Structure 1
Amino acid sequence: MKQSFLIFILSLSLTMPCFSAFGETIQGDSPTNPVTTETIKAPELNAEAAILMDATTGEILYEKNSKSKMYPASITKIMTVLLALEKGNLNDTITFSHDAVYSIEPGSAHIAMQEGEQITLEQALYGILLRSANEVANAVGEYVDGSIPAFAQHMTQRAKELGCESTNFLNANGLFDENHYTTAYDMACIARELLKQEAYQKMMSNTYYEIPPTNKQTETRYLHGQHQMLNPKSIYYYEYATGGKTGYTWEALNTLVTFAKKGDTQLIAVVLKCKGAEHYVDSKTLFEYGFSNFQTVKVFSARDYIKTVNVVETYKNKTTTLGSIQVVPKEDVYKTIAANTTLSDLKIDVNCPETIDAPISEGQEIGTITAKTGKDTITTSFVAQSAVAATSEEARLTQEKESKVKLLKTIGTISLGILLSCLIVFAMTRTIGHLKRKRRKRLRTLRRKKYRR
C-alpha cells in the first residue's frame, strides 16, 4: 500500500511545474549527456538540477541545470569533511564551544553535544556523515580555522581551487542563508575531491558508528546513517551505492550526493531540490543510466612510462652532471567511453627531456605524456620522484677554494718537478764539464811527458 501511494505521489509530481531554488522558472537547459556524440536517450528526472559525473575522469555523463545556483542544505558538509581531512588529524581532540552548540536552529539535526564536551575528529566526522549533526559541523569548522566565518571563507576559496564557479559558503553545516549557494556541477567537483581522501574511503560506506561516553556524557551515542541508498533494509537501497550525503531544508528541499561503483566504473550523482523521495529515485535512475551506457577504461598505467633524466648545472660556462632522477606520469590515465566499445586508434606521445637543470623539487612537473584516442586527447605531466638541490653559494665558494688549492698544489708540484729537473740537469752538466776538464788536463799532461822524451 505504501509503495502504491509513493508511486502515485511521484507520478503527480511529474506534472508539476519546475522552479529554481531562487524562484525562477527553469527554461531551456534541457538534460544532456555531454560525454558522447552518440545518440543515447537521456533519463527524465524530477530533480530541478542534477549531474552525473565519472568520478575517475571527471567527465560529465548527464546534466540538467547543472550550473544553476541552488541551495545545498546539508550536502554542504561534504566540503566541511574535505577540509577537515586535508587540514586535520583524526586523533585530534575537538572541544565544543558555546557558539558551536547554541548557534544552530532549534529542531535542526544534532547529536546533543554539550558546551565543553570533547570528542576526536574521527568521531566528529562520523557525527556529520551519519547524522548530519549541525553543531558538530560548527565545531569542526572552528577546529580547522578558529571561527565559522574564517572557515566559510576557506570553504569558498577551496571550492574555487577545485574549479567551482558558482559556489559561496557562509557556514559549515548548510543551514539556510540566501547567500549560501552552489550548483550541481560544483558539488560534484567537491565530492570528487573528497573521494580522493583515503580516510574518507574507509568511512564512506559505514552506516553505523558508536561514540563512547565523553567528559560530559555518560551514555554511548549510537549513530545510524540517514542515506537510504546505503541501507540494506530500505526500499531505496541500491547495491552499487558506496557513500554520500543527504541534505534538507524547507528552502532547498531534498538534496543528495551519492557515490556508486560497478566494476571499474565509479560515478557521482548530485540531485538538487527534490520533493519527497525523488532524490533517491532520481539518483538510482542516473546510476542505471550511467552504468548501462558508459564505462571507465584505463588508457595507460603511469608505471609503464618511468623515465630517467640527468640533472645538470651550468656555472661560468661549465656544465656539471649532479646525478639523475626518475620521472613518472602524475597519474594513471583513464577515459570514459560508451559501454561495449573499446579504445580506438590509441597513440601515446612522450615529451620528456633527457637532461634538466637543477634545482629539482620532488613532484615538479617535467615534460608531458599525451594519449590520443579517436578525436580525444588526454595530456598529463611527468613528475620528479626525488629532489636535487642546486649547488649553494657557500658550497660553490668552497668548491672554488678547493679547486684553487688543488690548482696551486698542482702548480707547486709541477714547479718543484721542473726545479728538481733543472738542478739535476745543472748537476749533471757540471759533472760532465768537470769530467771533460779532467780528461783534457790528463791529455795535456800525457802530451808534455811525450815531448820531454
Structure 2
Amino acid sequence: MKKCAAGLAALFLIVIFLSPRAFAAGYELPEGTSITAQSAYFVNLDTGIVVFEQNADEQRSVASLTKIMTALLLMENVSDLESTMIEANRDLYTGAIIDPTVRASHADIRPGEHVSALNMLYAMMLPSANEAAEAVGYYLGNGNLNNFYALMNARAAALGCTNTNFTSTNGLVDMDEGNYSSAHDIALITQECWKHEVFRTVVGTAAHQMPAAESHNEPYNILSLNAMIKPSSTVYRSYIKGVKTGSTHDAGRNFASAAVNDKGETYIGVVLGAPWDAAEDGYAYSFHDTATVYDWLFANYSIKPSIDTGSPVTEVKVNYSSEADTLMLYPAGDLKTVLPNDSDELLEKTFDVPESVDAPIAMGDKVGTVTLTLNGALVGTVDLIAGQDVARNGFLYAVSRVQAFFGGLYFRVVCILTAIFLVGYGLLTFWMYNRQKRQRVRRAGGPGNAPRAPRPARPPSAGRGVPPPAGKPSASRPPSSGPDELDLGFLEDDFTFGPPGED
C-alpha cells in the first residue's frame, strides 16, 4: 500500500539521534594482510561490536548501493509486496537509464509494464535494475522523485547516518552531483534491511524468475551480480548470505555483504572504493577484500562471554555481620563480545563498587558495576550482585550506632555548646556571688557608712594602755555582743604605736 504524501512532511521533523557504536575500535589486520578498498566497515550484529574499520566515515560515491535504501523504503511502506503493482512509467526512461554508453544494469522491465513490488525488489537487488529503482521511487514519491529523495534522506537521518545524502534512487548519480554515503552509513542501512525476512530471502537468491508482463509473453530469469553466493566462482564463500554490489567508474567497486558463520554469528560488511579493474581471476577486488576480512575474522575470533557469571569477580567488606567479613560479587550477565579464540587479554575490567556494604544483604542485590573495554573502547557495563545472603548482628549494629553517635559531628557540637554554657554559667555565678557579698558588707556597716561626728576628748587621766574602769564600756565604741562577734567600734579607736608612756 502506497504511503500518503502527507506523511512525507512529518519525516522532515525527525530529530536526528546519533546511534553510538557499542565498540568502534575494532581489530587490525595481521601484518602482511591488506585490502584494496578505500573504506571498510565490518560489524557483528549479535553484539554490536565493530570488528574492523578503515576510513569508515569518509564520504564516497556508493553507486548502486543506493538501491539498498530504496529497497528499505519499499519494504517499510508497502505492506503487501506480492499484490501491490507498480508501473514502470514511460517518463522515467531517460538519461543514463537508456544511454547505451553508460550500459546501466537492468532487469528488462519495459516502459509501461506493471510489476509487483516484490518482483521490483528482486530486480533491484539481483541484477541491480536501475529502471526498477526509478519506478519504485516514483511510486513512493507520489509521482515526484524529489519527494522520494527527501524520504530517503529523512530515513537515513533517523537511522543515524551522518555522512549520507541521496539525490538518486539508483546511484547512477555520483558524489559530484550530491549522491554519497560512507561505509558506516551503508552498514546502518543494510543492517536495518536485514531485519526483514523478505530481504534476507531476496538477497540470498542467485537467480529469480520474473513473470510475464505486458511486453513479456513468457517469464524470464534474472541473475544476481553477487559472485560470492555462487558456488562456481573462485570468490564463493558459504558464509556469505547476500547483499549487493555497486559500481561506477567514479565510485569504484563497492560491495555490501551479510555473513553468517557456522556458529550462527551474523555480520554486516561494507567495502567501498576498490579498484575498478578486476583481479587476476576475473572477479572484482571488492569480493576479494570481503573474503580477506571474513576469512581472517572467522579463523581467529569468535563471540564469547566477556565475563563469567558463575565466578566471583571481586569482593567487598561487610559491616554489622558476624557471619562474614566480606561479600563475593558476581556479574549479573555475561555481556558477550568478539574476542580472540586463544586469549581475552585485551579485555579490561573497571570496577565501581563501594568500600563496604551494610548487612543485611540478600543474594542477588545489586552492589556495584563492572565496565568492560576492548582496545580502549567501551564494550558494556554489567551489574555486580551479591552472591549470598548476609544477616545483620543486632549487637554489632547497636554498638556501631552508639560509636557513631559519640563520634559524630552532632555530638561534638553538643559538647562544645554545653562547655560554653557551663563556663558562662560559672562566670556569671561567680560574679553574682561577689556582687551579693559586697552588698552584704555595705548593709552590715549601717551608719558607719555616713560621715562621723567629732569624737569627745579623753580625760587626761586616761593614759594609753590603761583599761577603763571595770563594768564600764568604752564610751567611744559600743559593747561587743559576744566573744566571736566583730566589734566595729574597736576599729575606730585611736591607736599609737611606740614605747609606753610616750605621748
TM-score range relative to shorter protein: 0.5 to 0.7
Q: Distance in 2 between matches of 1:99 and 1:156?
A: 24
Higher mean C-alpha displacement, 84-93 vs 143-152: 143-152
Q: For 1:338 and 1:145, how far apart are their aligned partners in 2?
A: 47
CA contact (8 A) 1:113 1:136 kept: yes
Q: How far off is 1:176 after superposition?
A: 2.4
TM-score norm. by structure 2 comes to 0.54
Partner of 1:7: none
Cα offsets for 1:314-348 (capped at 9, x unmatched): xxxxxxxxxxxxxxxxxx9753333345799899x
Q: Structure 2: how far apart are the matches of 1:270 and 1:204?
A: 15
Q: Quote the offset at 1:145 in angstroms.
A: 2.3
1:335 aligned partner: 337
Q: Distance in 1 between matches of 2:252 and 2:29?
A: 33
State whether residues 271 and 290 of structure 2, in contact with CA within 8 Å, keep that contact through their aligned partners in structure 1. Answer: yes
Letter in 2 for 1:219: E
Structure 2 residue identity aligned to 1:285: T
Q: Does 1:47 align with 2:37?
A: yes
The answer for the alignment partner of 1:383 in structure 2 is: none
Q: How far apart are 1:35 and its partner, in Å?
A: 3.2
Distance verdict in 2 for CA 1:144–1:238, change over 3 Å: same
Cα distance in 1 for residues equivalent to 2:381 and 2:204: 33
Cα displacement (A) at 1:95: 1.0
Alignment pair present for 1:90 and 2:81 = yes
Q: 1:158 to 1:341 in 2, by over 3 A?
A: farther
Alignment match, 1:403: none
Q: Paired residue for 1:101? A: 93
Residue 372 of structure 1: CA displacement?
4.9
Q: 1:169 to 1:42 in 2, by over 3 A?
A: farther
1:35 aligns to 2:15 (yes or no)? no
Q: Secondary structure, in 3 states, of the residue corresponding to 2:242?
A: strand
Give the corresponding residue for 1:204: 203
Q: CA deviation at 1:161?
A: 1.2
1:151 pairs with one of 148, 153, 161:
148
Seen in structure 2, the aligned counterparts of structure 1 residues 129 and 379 have a Cα distance that, compared at 3 Å, is farther
Q: String of CA shifts for 1:186-207, please: whole Å, max 9, x gaps.
A: 1111111111112112222110
Structure with higher helix content: 1
Matches within 5 A, 1:310-329: none
- Give 2:59's aligned residue: 69
Q: In the alignment, what sits opposite 1:293? A: 300
- Preserved contact between residue 371 and residue 381 of structure 2 (Cα < 8 Å): no
- How big is each residue's C-alpha offset from its partner over 1:164-186, in whole Å with a ceiling of 9 and x where there is no partner? 11100101101023111111111
Q: Which amino acid aligns with 2:94?
A: Y
Q: Which residue of 1 aligns with 2:134?
A: 138
Structure 1 residue 373: Cα displacement? 5.9
Q: Which residue matches 2:237?
A: 238
Contact 1:43 1:289 in 2 (8 A): no
Are the structure 2 counterparts of residues 299 and 118 from structure 1 closer, same or farther at C-alpha, using a change threshold of 3 Å? farther
* Alpha-carbon offset, residue 298 of structure 1: 7.0
Is residue 255–residue 270 contact of structure 2 (8 Å, CA) maintained in 1? yes
1:34-90: CA deviation from partner (whole Å, max 9, x where unpaired): 136x99659411111112111333321111111111100011111111111111131
**3-state SS of paired residue (1:273):** strand
Contact kept, 8 Å, 2:203 with 2:244, in 1: the verdict is no
Distance 1:373 1:198, change over 3 A: farther
1:421-436 equivalent positions in 2, closer than 5 A? none
- The residue that corresponds to 1:374 in the other structure is 372
Could you tell me whether the CA contact under 8 Å between 1:176 and 1:251 is conserved in 2?
A: no
Change (3 A) 1:186 1:248: same
Whole-angstrom CA distance in 1 between matches of 2:343 and 2:77: 41
Counterpart amino acid of 1:338? P
> In structure 2, what is the Cα distance between the partners aligned to 1:202 and 1:346?
43
Aligned in 2, Cα 1:344/1:272: closer, same or farther, shift over 3 Å?
A: closer
C-alpha distance in structure 1 between counterparts of 2:369 and 2:297, whole Å: 24
Which sections of structure 2, spanning at least 5 residues, go unmatched?
1-22, 279-283, 308-333, 354-367, 383-503
* Contact 1:101 1:113 survives alignment (8 Å): no
Q: Which residue of 2 aligns with 1:227?
A: 226
Query: 1:261: Cα distance to partner?
Result: 1.0
Structure ranking higher in strand proportion: 1
Alignment-mate amino acid for residue 299 of structure 2: S
The size of the alignment, in residue pairs, is: 297
Q: Where does residue 115 of structure 1 map in the other structure?
A: 111
Q: How far does residue 228 in structure 1 lie from its aligned partner after superposition?
A: 0.5
Bigger CA radius of gyration: 2
Matched, 1:175 2:172: yes
Where 2:58 maps in the other structure, the secondary structure is: coil
> Please, which runs of 5 or more residues in structure 1 have no aligned partner?
1-31, 301-331, 350-369, 381-453
Aligned equivalents of 1:51, 1:285: Cα separation in 2? 13
Label 1:197 to 1:283 Cα distance change in 2 as closer, same or farther (>3 A). same
Shift of 1:297: 4.6
The question of whether the paired residues in 2 share the 8 Å contact of 1:43 and 1:286 is answered with no
Contact 1:68 1:183 in 2 (8 A): yes
Counterpart CA distance in 1 for 2:88 and 2:69 is: 20
SS at match of 1:126: helix
SS across alignment from 1:63: strand
Contact kept? 2:60, 2:251, Cα under 8 Å: yes
Aligned-residue offset at 1:33 = 7.9
- Report how far residue 105 of structure 1 moved: 4.7
Partners in 1 of 2:335 and 2:166 — Cα distance?
32
Contact 2:43 2:52 (8 Å CA) reproduced: yes
**Partner of residue 402, structure 2:** none
Mark the CA change 1:188 to 1:372 in structure 2 (over 3 Å): closer, same or farther.
farther
Choose the corresponding residue for 1:79, options 60, 69, 72. 69
Distance 2:303 2:248 in 1: 35
